[in-house]
Amino acid sequence: MTRKKQRSRKDRKRARSRQKGWGRWLHVVIPILAALLVGLGGGWLFARRGDTGPTEAEIKLASVSQLPEKVRRAPPVVQEAYRFAIVNAEILEKIPCYCGCGSMGHKSDLDCFIQDFNPDGSIVFGYHALE
C-alpha cells in the first residue's frame, strides 16, 4: 500500500505541476488576447469614423490685406473672425447674433463684422466685433 500512496502522491504532484504550467500560460495569453481585441476594436472604430468635417486648413479665409487697418491691429483671433466673415458671409447671415447687439439693429452674426457690401464689391466694415 505504501507504493500506491507514493504513486498517488507523485501523480498528484504531476497534476499540480501541469495545472500550474497551464495557469501560468493563461496568465500570459489572456492579457495579450485582451490587448489585441481592444486594439482591433479601436482600429475598427477609428476606420469607421469617416469624414468629421473640414480641418483648419480647409476653412476659407480672406487675405489679411483685405482687412482695414483698425482690424489689422486687433489680436489674431479677431482678425481671423473678420477674414472668415468676408469670405463666408452667407454662413454668418444664417447665424443669429447672441451678443446682445439686437438693439443696434443686428439681425445676424454677419452684422457684427460687416455693415454692407457695396455694388462695386468693396466692403463697409462694422467694428462692433472689436469692442
Walk along the chain (131 residues) and give the pLDDT tens digit of each residue.
555 555 566 666 665 555 555 566 666 777 777 777 777 777 666 666 665 666 666 788 999 999 999 999 999 999 999 999 999 999 989 988 777 776 777 788 888 889 899 999 899 998 888 87
Consecutive H or E run containing 33? helix 2-48
Phi/psi at 117 (nearest 5 deg)? -110, 120
- For the chain, the domains span 1-50, 56-130
All residues at 6 or more sequence positions from 4 whose CB lies less than 8 Å from its CB, including other chains? none
Phi/psi at 123 (nearest 5 deg)? -115, 135
